[in-house]
């Protein structure tokens, strides 16, 4: 892990202004931000650990908990909302028995919400591992989950 973190830091020349980009690269590699990674970033870049931790907890893109195998993003943008996105989310919560931000007990799925993915014409939209599923409704949730 140390090497991957060091690579991410070096890619941006250890520039403190690029802290967020560096954390994003680390998360893309490790699927979340482990404590050791943040400690390493703090030491290597001379940024107080408390500041690194504040940044890691402020931005939604970052997860300090390991994520599941599949990342489910339910769009809650306004256009999807008026087309019934909240019902889709509620069914997801029921079927997976988790709340947004959490991972299922078997570590298969992590459920997140996002405020607009920008494909509003297809709303309500759910994105799983980068793949988009449009015109969702609560009734289609279980068959979607079964695909994974």
For 54, the token pair is: 């504040």
Q: Taking CB under 8 A as the rule, does residue 33 contact another protein? A: no
CB of 117 to another protein, least distance (A): 6
Collapsing DSSP states into helix, strand and coil, what is residue 111?
Answer: strand
Q: Taking CB under 8 A as the rule, does residue 62 contact another protein? A: yes
Instruction: Pick the stretch among 1-9, 79-87, 102-110 that binds another protein (CB under 8 A).
Output: 79-87
Q: How many CB atoms lie within 10 A of CB 140?
A: 15
Instruction: Identify the residue among 7, 82, 97, 107 touching another protein (CB under 8 A).
Output: 82
- Alpha helices of 46-140 — where are they, by DSSP H? 49-58, 78-82, 85-96
Q: Which of 51, 33, 37 is nearest to 9 (CA)?
A: 37
Pairwise CA distance, residues 57 & 135, whole Å: 32
Instruction: Identify the residue among 4, 53, 67, 69 touching another protein (CB under 8 A).
Output: 53
CB of 108 to another protein, least distance (A): 19
Residues 6 or more apart whose CB falls under 8 angstroms from that of 104 comprise 68, 96, 97, 98, 110, 111
Q: Taking CB under 8 A as the rule, does residue 2 contact another protein? A: no
Peptide bond into 44 cis (omega under 30): no
Instruction: Identify the residue among 32, 71, 81, 102 touching another protein (CB under 8 A).
Output: 81
Instruction: Identify the residue among 59, 108, 129, 148 touching another protein (CB under 8 A).
Output: 59
**Site residues for another protein per CB under 8 A:** 16-21, 23-24, 35, 38, 47-55, 57-62, 76-84, 87, 90-91, 94-95, 114-123, 125, 132, 134, 137-140
């Amino acid at each position: 892990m140390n090497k991957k973190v060091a690579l991410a830091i070096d890619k941006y020349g250890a520039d403190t202004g690029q802290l967020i980009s560096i954390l994003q690269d680390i998360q893309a590699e490790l699927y979340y931000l482990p404590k050791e990674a943040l400690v390493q970033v703090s030491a290597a870049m001379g940024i107080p650990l408390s500041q690194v931790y504040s940044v890691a907890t402020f931005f939604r893109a970052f997860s300090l908990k390991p994520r599941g195998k599949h990342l489910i993003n339910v769009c809650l943008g306004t256009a999807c909302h008026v087309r019934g996105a909240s019902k889709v989310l509620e069914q997801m919560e029921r079927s997976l028995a988790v709340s947004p931000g959490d991972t299922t007990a078997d570590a298969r799925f992590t459920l997140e919400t996002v405020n607009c993915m920008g494909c509003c014409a297809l709303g309500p939209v759910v994105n799983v591992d980068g793949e988009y599923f449009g015109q969702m409704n609560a009734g289609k949730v279980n068959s979607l989950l079964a695909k994974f």
